[in-house]
Structure 1
Amino acid sequence: MNIKEFFDLSAGKWFSHRTSHHLAFQQFEDGKSDIVVEILATDRPEVIKLCQRYEISPSSAACSAKVTWNEIMEGNQKKDSGSSVLVSIPDVDNPNEGKFLQEIGSTKETSIIGRYKIGSDGALTLTTEYENVSAEERLWFASPNLRMRVRVLKRSDGFSTASFTSEIRMGGIPSTKKVSETANSAAS
């Protein structure tokens, strides 16, 4: 699987359930979200703007997506919602690795640049460092309609959070036959 196939397979509406463990406080937290992943053409204005922010040619982008979410955490009746634009820029000599650009536009606009790697098992690993936080996230498909994520956030003050998320596609898999075949081979 390559980064474009991973993005294509991720397209659609998902129900997400996340459990987070705040290691310093030994506390757990549950959250539920509705997530929509929309594939964007790499010539869309928001993709071009994000690439230009990092002085990267938009023509070098392999794929991009917009992720929109509505989330509620256990014990908190207030919903959190937002969106994010994601752009992958493959390394010239190894397209299974590259830069990962992200713009988060929930309450305040934040841009992040990180790295991605698609493993031989089809799992996507994202690593980012921003301000005083480093994050590593691994995403994979257990089946075409079930995606898993594990994430570890570490702050420079020693505070760490680990989370596990399962995401279930609401509706069928994307209609593209190639994407379906890719998911089936990744799940085998």
Structure 2
Amino acid sequence: MDIVEFFQRSSGKWFSQRTSHALAFEQAKGGQSELQIELLPQTDPAVIKLCEQYKLDPTLALCGLRVNWDGTTEGEKAKQVGNTVLVPIADPDSPNEGTLLRTLGPGEKVLLAGRYSVGSDETLTLTAESETMYSEERLWFANPNLRFRTSVLKQSGGFSTASFCSEIRKGVTSPPPATTQSIADKKA
């Protein structure tokens, strides 16, 4: 499986249930979200715009992924609502690894490209690092309609958060058909 296939399999509506642990405070919180994940073709205006923001040629983009979420966390009154666009750019010598572009999140002022790799076990690993934080997220499918996600966020000052999510596809029995080509198809 390559990154485009992983993103394609992720497309759809999902219910996500998570547990997060603030390790420094020895505190755990539960939460849940509704996710809407949409595969975007390389030519989508959001993909092109994101590549241009990172000063990269949009033709290097393999595809894009738009993720919208609407969720709650135990003990917090405010809902967590947001969205992001992700764009993978494969390493020329290693198509299962590359750079992952993403839109800025709330309060972020600096673009930060991360890395992705798809392992032989079909697990997607995403990493990002700056002077003040390091994050690592791993995602994999137990079956086409059940996905798991773990993440670790380490911040300067010693604060770390770990989380586990189980995500269940809603309303369909398989991912929608692909709207973009896989890396293997592009090379042919």
TM-score, length of structure 2 as denominator length: 0.89
> Closer, same or farther in 2 for the Cα pair 1:46/1:109, shift >3 Å?
farther
Shift of 1:75: 1.4
> Closer, same or farther in 2 for the Cα pair 1:118/1:19, shift >3 Å?
same
| CA deviations over 1:19-74 (Å, ceiling 9, x no partner) | 01111110001110000001112122221111112221111111111000001001
> Closer, same or farther in 2 for the Cα pair 1:106/1:70, shift >3 Å?
farther
| CA deviations over 1:66-105 (Å, ceiling 9, x no partner) | 0000010011232110100000000011100000001045
Corresponding residue for residue 22 of structure 1: 22
> Closer, same or farther in 2 for the Cα pair 1:104/1:59, shift >3 Å?
same
Q: In structure 2, list runs of 5 or more residues that go unmatched.
A: 179-188
Shift of 1:156: 1.2
Shift of 1:176: 3.1
Q: In 1, Cα distance between the equivalents of 2:167 and 2:110?
A: 25
Corresponding residue for residue 79 of structure 1: 79
Corresponding residue for residue 144 of structure 1: 144
Corresponding residue for residue 175 of structure 2: 174
Amino acid corresponding to residue 17 of structure 2 in structure 1: H
When the two chains are superposed, the root-mean-square deviation of aligned CA atoms in Å is: 1.6
Corresponding residue for residue 7 of structure 1: 7
Paired residues of 1:98 and 1:116 also in contact (CA < 8 A): yes
Paired residues of 2:54 and 2:111 also in contact (CA < 8 A): no
Query: How many residue pairs get matched?
Result: 177
Q: In structure 1, list runs of 5 or more residues that go unmatched.
A: 178-188
Paired residues of 1:3 and 1:63 also in contact (CA < 8 A): no
Q: SS at the partner of 1:121?
A: coil
Corresponding residue for residue 134 of structure 1: 134
Amino acid corresponding to residue 174 of structure 1 in structure 2: P
Shift of 1:6: 0.1
Q: SS at the partner of 2:18?
A: strand
Amino acid corresponding to residue 57 of structure 1 in structure 2: D
Paired residues of 2:47 and 2:63 also in contact (CA < 8 A): no
Amino acid corresponding to residue 32 of structure 1 in structure 2: Q
TM-score, length of structure 1 as denominator length: 0.89
Structure 1, 125-134 or 19-28: larger mean CA deviation: 125-134
Shift of 1:130: 3.2
Corresponding residue for residue 117 of structure 2: 117
Corresponding residue for residue 53 of structure 1: 53
Ranges of 4+ aligned residues in structure 1 off by more than 2 Å: 104-112
Corresponding residue for residue 185 of structure 2: none
Shift of 1:164: 0.3
Corresponding residue for residue 153 of structure 2: 153
- Give % identity: 52
Corresponding residue for residue 67 of structure 2: 67
